[in-house]
Structure formats: structure tokens, C-alpha cells
Amino acid sequence: MEYVRVCDAFGTGYFYIPGTETCLKISGYVRTQLEYKENGFSDDSTDLNAFTRGQLVFEAKNDTEYGALSSAIVINAEQDDGVYLDAAWISIAGFDVGNYYTWWDADLNGEADVLSSNDTSLNGIRYTYDGGTFQVGVAVEELEGATALFGTGDNGNDDIGAGGLIGFSLGGVKATVIGSYDFNAEEAAFRAIVTADIGPGTLGIAGIYATDANYYWDVSEWSAYAEYKIQATDKLFITPSAQYFGDVDFVNVDAWRVGLTAGYQITEGLRSLATVSYTDADEAGNGLTGASDSQWRGFVRLQRDF
């Protein structure tokens, strides 16, 4: 009988697949939350919704002459959308190939931010050079099925996108700048995120600019965001945040949002999260506040990680 052996070459949680030198890790979460959204796209459409998701992540890694060969499969199961593949990709020698999470998927701690549009897991190929304190990358991706609340007019976005990344870290400061071009819309979007450890927490700021609506960003012409994550105790964090949107839906309407997020680690593997935000726009009928010129929204979440 061959027993399963622990693999510590790639961190904790891995074990050798019997008869091979490939290490496998299985992780995931069960998430349930109660969501509230005021003023949708029709009058009196206040929405209270319960949502549950289960996620499984399979990661396989082994050493090769080209460095570590890794692959990941992320499967989500939801009560409304059924079971679906969220992402699946192969990584080797700095390359990612498959349906991966794009650079636009990365965001900050506060749950009230809006820092991307549409699906952030796309089929593509990208290369990232990681020099430790410096990163640079390029990517080519297939843009399919714009699914965000904010449409892009006649641009169906069933086409190609290309992008680049530059990032660095120095001490407690990290910065990342990305730029992406939507060939179908013939428009580009740019985003910068900077975080810095200051005092009892972490300051995070972000800025976004788009030449016009495109797959990567179609919320507003520009936006600025700031938050401060306060690590109140070992188990509790609190993050106040604020965001401003210039020319929402790429018309002459501005909006601002303030939010508050709090997370608590109940015990090992179990955590809670709650967030509330208020958005105010110059006028009603826009992609941020719907049929009204303002909107309250938030959720309460319980999540078991494994």
C-alpha cells in the first residue's frame, strides 16, 4: 500500500499525488451572505437578497528544467448559477496560459470600491517578469460577453485586448500600474494602485482613466479612490473608504461614494465581513445609482475557508 506523502516544496497544504512527483493542494471556501441594494433601475426596486457560494481550488505543481510547472482549476457552485468554471490556467517560466484572473482582478481591502468592469477572468496568454522588488508584464486576452451593469453600447467586446503591467515594492510601499487596450472598442484604460503601511494600518489609493467606454473600464471617464485599513486587533480590521467618479457613463454626470468595511476572524477557518456604502450622483438614471440619484447598499457575510 502506498501512502500519501506530504509535499513541502511549495508551501503548506500540498501532498504528492501517489506514484508521481507532482504536488497537489485542495482549498476553497463556503460563503453565505445577505445583500441589500436600494434603488435599482426601476422605481421602488429595493432589493434584499440571500446568496451562497461554494468554491473549490485545485493547484498542482512540480519542478522542471524550466522552473516550477503549476496549474490551477477554480470551480464555483451557486444556488442561482449552478456549477461553473471560474478559472483554469497553466503557469511556467513566467508565462500564464488559459482562463486566468487578469491584472484588473486585483483590488484593495475595502468592499465599497469599483476598480474594474466586466469579467476579470479571461482566456489569454501573458508573461510576467518578477525581479522580487520589480515586476513587468505583457498580456493578450480574448474579450467576451461584457457582463457588467454598465454596457458599452454597440461594442460587443467579442474581440481581443492587450495590456501591460509595471509594479514595484519597497519596504512597506507597493505600487502597480496597468494599462489595457480594447481593440473592438478602440479605447484604452489605465489604473494605478499604491499601498503603504502607515501607523496601525495600511493606506490604499487608486486612480483610473479611460479614453472612452471599453471592456476593462466602462464606469466613468476617470475615478479616484482612497481607503485606510485599520488593524484594530489581531482579529478585527476596519476600513473606511471614499471614491469619486468623473463623467459617469461617459456623460456629464459626476458621483461620489463613501463606505465602511469591517472584518472579524471568528476562529481559525471562519471569518465574517460586513460592508455598507452610500453613493450620490448629480442626477438619476446612471450606472452607479440606477433610477435614483443616490443609493445605499451593503452586505453581511460569513465565510468558512479551508
Residues 6+ apart with CB under 8 A from 293: 280, 281, 282, 283, 284
Q: Is the pLDDT of residue 41 over 50?
A: no
Q: Structurally, how many domains does the chain consist of?
A: 1
Q: Is the pLDDT of residue 42 over 60?
A: no
Tell me, what's the pLDDT at 48? 87
* pLDDT confidence bin for 40, thresholds 50/70/90: low
Q: Is the pLDDT of residue 21 over 50?
A: yes
Tell me, what's the pLDDT at 225? 99
Tell me, what's the pLDDT at 45? 57
Average pLDDT over every residue of 54-58: 99
Tell me, what's the pLDDT at 113? 96
Residue in the block written with cell 482549476: 73
Q: Is the pLDDT of residue 150 over 60?
A: no
pTM comes to: 0.91
Q: Are 191 and 119 in contact (CB under 8 A)?
A: no
Q: How do residues 244-264 score in pLDDT, each as one tens digit?
A: 999 999 999 999 999 999 999
Torsion from C-alpha of 76, 78, 84, 87, nearest 10 degrees: -30
Give the C-alpha separation, 216 to 208, whole Å. 11
Strands (E), the chain: 6-7, 14-16, 23-37, 47-64, 67-78, 82-92, 95-101, 121-130, 134-143, 159-170, 173-182, 187-198, 201-210, 220-231, 236-248, 255-267, 270-281, 294-305
Tell me, what's the pLDDT at 273? 98
Tell me, what's the pLDDT at 12? 94
Q: What is the CATH number for 179? A: 2.40.160.10
> In this structure, is residue 130 part of a structural domain?
yes
Q: Are 244 and 254 in contact (CB under 8 A)?
A: yes
Average pLDDT over every residue of 57-66: 98
Give the C-alpha separation, 138 to 118, whole Å. 20
Q: How do residues 271-292 score in pLDDT, each as one tens digit?
A: 999 999 999 999 998 999 988 9
Q: Is the pLDDT of residue 306 over 80?
A: yes
Instruction: Give the largest Cα separation in the chain, rounded.
Output: 71
Give the C-alpha separation, 46 to 199, whole Å. 39
Is residue 212 exposed (0-12), middle (13-18) or buried (19+ Cβ within 10 Å)?
middle
**pLDDT, the chain, mean:** 92
How many of the other CB atoms lie within 10 Å of CB of 162? 16
Q: How do residues 79-130 score in pLDDT, each as one tens digit?
A: 888 999 999 999 999 999 999 999 999 999 889 999 999 999 999 999 999 9
Q: Which has the higher per-residue pLDDT, 164 or 18?
A: 164
Range of the domain at 89: 6-305
Average pLDDT over every residue of 25-32: 98
Q: How do residues 174-232 score in pLDDT, each as one tens digit?
A: 999 999 999 999 999 999 999 999 999 999 999 999 999 999 999 999 999 999 999 99
> In this structure, is residue 1 part of a structural domain?
no
> In this structure, is residue 282 part of a structural domain?
yes
Cell numbers found for residue 34:
445577505
Average pLDDT over every residue of 135-148: 83
